[in-house]
Amino acid sequence: MLKIKRTEQEWKQLLTAEQYHILREKGTEVPNTCSIIKNKEKGVYTCIACNNPLFKSSEKFESHTGWPSFFEPYNQDSLEYKDDFTFGMKRTEVLCKSCGGHLGHVFDDGPPPTGKRYCINGIILKFTPVKLLHKKTIEKKK
């Protein structure tokens, strides 16, 4: 996987203030505020900063937590994991493997088949519907 490196100034120019806060400063969006949480379309969720595929819509589920939740990543090379001991507890932080941006956390209370709940900040996700994915594939073949 190609690692994307930018200066903090470049990240600030590329991202909105809220996206920067979440991705680069490990912030969290206010629960139930992103439109992606209610999205039911088929497609792929990518990192807003680098377009790395992170999750498929078929792995999304309603966790009633206020953040988009997934039970499995797009593939094993999409994400990185890091121990997070903030707030006096041990959690597993989820990072974009391409740009290193903070996405959220993963917990062991998700549905089958994995039992995982990837609790992800929706504002840093970009959704591409499956119909547009197919169009891009067709255009590349021409």
In DSSP terms, 82 is beta-bridged to 93
119 catalytic? Reply is yes
Query: Catalytic pick from 50, 96, 99, 119?
Result: 119
According to DSSP, the β-strands at 53-56 and 60-61 are unpaired
- Torsion angles phi and psi, residue 126, rounded to 5: -115, 130
- Torsion angles phi and psi, residue 40, rounded to 5: -115, 0
One-letter amino acid for residue 135 of the chain: K
Classified as helix, coil or strand, 97 is coil
Q: State which H helix or E strand residue 92 sits in.
A: strand 91-96
As annotated, the active-site residues are: 119
